Amino acid sequence: MSFPKRSYNCGILREENAGNEVVFNGWIGTVRDMGGLIFIDIRDRFGITQLVIEPENQPELAERSKELKSEFVIWAKGTVRKRENPNLKIPTGLIEVLVSDFGILNRAELPPFEIIDDLNTSEELRLKYRFLDLRRPVLQKNFILRNQIYQITHQYFYEKGFLEIETPVLMKSTPEGARDFLVPSRTYNGRFYALPQSPQQYKQILMVSGFDRYMQIVKCFRDEDLRSDRQPEFTQIDLEMSFVEREDVMEVIEGYFSKVWKEIKGIDIPTPFMKMTYNDAMLNYGSDKPDLRFDMKISTLTEILNGTEFKVFADTIANNGVIAAINAKGCGSYSRKKIDELTEFAKKYGAKGLAWMKSTNGEFSSSFAKFLKEEEIENIKKAVNFEDGDLVLVVADSWHRSYTVLGALRLEVAKQSGIMDKIKNDYSFHWVIDFPLLDYDEEESRYIAMHHPFTSPMNEDSELLNSNPAKARAKAYDVVVNGAELGGGSIRIHDQAIQSRMFELLGFTKEDAQSKFGFLLDALKYGAPPHGGLALGLDRIVMTLAGTDNIRDVIAFPKTTTGLSLMDGAPSGVDEKQLKELGISLIKGE
């Protein structure tokens, strides 16, 4: 098929182009036959331009234009002229193009939904017709943004001396952490490849190989039961550096975010980012990824309630638990019903209950005040800076649960009370550091690595690996913006003996460790440099910059939370013959 090729895209013409002869290729938006004039919007990824046909002067064109419908693909020739009624809402709104000829390149059936930004259609239908959904300017913008981010990323890390190196997708299964996707081998029936959850071990190998600085924009995979903000395949900006300590990695990342925010938002992000220990983040914000755009810090009340006769609090203290509170300023007028809803919310995070006190128009009430001494109440009020109009929410539970629940409540109250709206265009970057190295898994009665098993303990805590592993802190760091973890990393273990000790702590036998991580243990024997790195969640970075909470808005062909691709029907059944070649059969009746 030959056709007149566009001389301009549909978003570029301005007043000064009046008089130009132009050719467009694009999609028809709307066709409006106003009798005296026929207006046709033509659209491509660059914009929309108004075409005009004058039926009186152009009867043949007018006749042919009757066939045109939304989403037809056409070419159109014509002359640019100023509009009599400018449309200031679009960049091309000062001009229109008087059509001299046009042709249909392809027809379109009536789409199941309109190609507009404000769409009141189920996400399911949009995903099924993703090829139409992706035509909506709001989504197109996200992928143009995403492309910009790729380019900035490639350029930045190249300039910083990083080498992009591809690591394998078909790799060894190392069942530690989340569940692997498996790929059966046809050549070696009974054996499987795994898709990478991260190229962690390969990038460390690259450091052992002397590549000095590595980066890769890389797909990673986790076969988990998905939450609404997760996808089975996601994209990381993965990097690793040799001969570095924590601050060297941080500096590179701070420079990266500064560049991205400057180029995309025109915003100067102050560097270096603030550093907050994991412990402080939990104590003050109840989260290892606190949103620091607003205050509402947690107050720990355990000490001032020490010796209380109120049984609930006294028992908590006796069990080494914590009593803590947030002061929701200005929420003192919350009804009992609203507080009950917050209690239900807290229970979802594991709280057994929610104690509260509030004051509105000088009227004080509380769920627990009557059980406490006057002095205790006063101390609480002082601790949380209680004023008329405030609502104080108190949780008494184990250390981790108390802070986690209050951290969740803090965000929920901020949402309900309008704080989130006020800060939605702010960006607060910071590091969370000094994470515990290990976490004790009660169910499996063993330690698991909080970050991953290759994370180095802090120098001053390495003795603790033998004496009190639970107390050891890791050289790990997360970069957090607006309450979202955009990435995390660590300085790695480069000493083979410490790495072996780490596997031992995690309950691996020597044989286990060798069979699962042998190649990395081997590599560490042959001159591994000190090294560390980090992985950034690219999808989340795009979401943050695009201002969307829906990860499916930034992935071209996303899957549902059960892993379905509604457009193409994946996953799907396959031939018995294929399975036989792979040496596997389906377990029936499941």
Chain positions 440 to 479 lying near a copy of itself, rule: CB under 8 A, are: 459
Q: Which helix (H) or strand (E) holds 150?
A: helix 137-159
Residue carrying structure tokens 């069990």: 319
Q: Please identify which residue in 34, 88, 318, 587 interacts with a copy of itself, judged by CB under 8 A.
A: 587
Q: Alpha-carbon distance 561 to 227, whole Å?
A: 6
**Contact between 563 and a copy of itself (CB under 8 A)?**
yes
Q: Please identify which residue in 132, 448, 450, 464 interacts with a copy of itself, judged by CB under 8 A.
A: 132
Q: Which of residues 524-553 bind a copy of itself (CB under 8 A)?
A: 524-530
How far apart are CB 493 and a copy of itself at their closest, in Å?
Answer: 10
**Contact between 205 and a copy of itself (CB under 8 A)?**
yes
As beta bridge partners, residue 440 has 447
Closest CA to 136 of 126, 146, 124: 126
Query: Whose Cβ is closer to a copy of itself: residue 59's or residue 571's?
Result: 571
* Contacts of 100 by beta carbon, 8 Å cutoff, 6+ apart: 77, 78, 79
Q: Please identify which residue in 102, 221, 257, 503 interacts with a copy of itself, judged by CB under 8 A.
A: 221
Chain centroid to CA 360: how far?
A: 39
**Contact between 8 and a copy of itself (CB under 8 A)?**
no
Which of the ranges 317-325, 367-375, 422-430, 520-528 carries the binding residues for a copy of itself, by CB under 8 A?
520-528
Q: Which of residues 94-113 bind a copy of itself (CB under 8 A)?
A: 105-109, 111
Phi-psi category of residue 161: left, alpha or beta, with phi > 0 → left and psi -120 to 50 → alpha: left
Query: Whose Cβ is closer to a copy of itself: residue 420's or residue 520's?
Result: 520
How far apart are CB 54 and a copy of itself at their closest, in Å?
Answer: 26
Q: Alpha-carbon distance 358 to 270, whole Å?
A: 38
Q: How many residues bind a copy of itself (CB under 8 A)?
A: 128
Q: Which helix (H) or strand (E) holds 393?
A: strand 391-397
Q: Alpha-carbon distance 252 to 67, whole Å?
A: 57
How far apart are CB 188 and a copy of itself at their closest, in Å?
Answer: 6
How far apart are CB 548 and a copy of itself at their closest, in Å?
Answer: 17
Q: Please identify which residue in 265, 303, 570, 576 interacts with a copy of itself, judged by CB under 8 A.
A: 570
**Contact between 510 and a copy of itself (CB under 8 A)?**
no
Q: Please identify which residue in 116, 243, 422, 466 interacts with a copy of itself, judged by CB under 8 A.
A: 243
Closest CA to 440 of 536, 352, 507: 507
**Contact between 126 and a copy of itself (CB under 8 A)?**
no
Q: Which of residues 34-73 bind a copy of itself (CB under 8 A)?
A: 43-46, 71-73
How far apart are CB 512 and a copy of itself at their closest, in Å?
Answer: 12
Q: Alpha-carbon distance 316 to 1, whole Å?
A: 78
Alpha-carbon separation of residue 337 from 154, 208, 342, 352 (angstroms): 52, 60, 9, 18
Q: Please identify which residue in 8, 22, 27, 402 interacts with a copy of itself, judged by CB under 8 A.
A: 27
Which of the ranges 241-249, 345-353, 476-484, 545-553 carries the binding residues for a copy of itself, by CB under 8 A?
241-249
Amino acid type, 131? F
Q: Which of residues 364-403 bind a copy of itself (CB under 8 A)?
A: none
Please, is 97 exposed, middle or buried when counting C-beta atoms within 10 Å of its C-beta (0-12, 13-18, 19+)?
Answer: buried
Query: Whose Cβ is closer to a copy of itself: residue 63's or residue 522's?
Result: 522
Q: Please identify which residue in 85, 120, 187, 445 interacts with a copy of itself, judged by CB under 8 A.
A: 187
Hey, which bits of 34-72 come out as E strands? 38-44, 47-53
Phi-psi category of residue 223: left, alpha or beta, with phi > 0 → left and psi -120 to 50 → alpha: beta
Q: Which of residues 143-182 bind a copy of itself (CB under 8 A)?
A: 143-144, 146-147, 150-151, 154-155, 158, 163-173, 175, 179-182
Q: Which of residues 284-313 bind a copy of itself (CB under 8 A)?
A: none
Q: 3-state DSSP call for residue 239?
A: strand
Q: What does residue 536 show for φ and ψ, rounded to 5 degrees?
A: -105, 145
Which of the ranges 221-229, 258-266, 433-441, 463-471 carries the binding residues for a copy of itself, by CB under 8 A?
221-229
* Contacts of 574 by beta carbon, 8 Å cutoff, 6+ apart: none
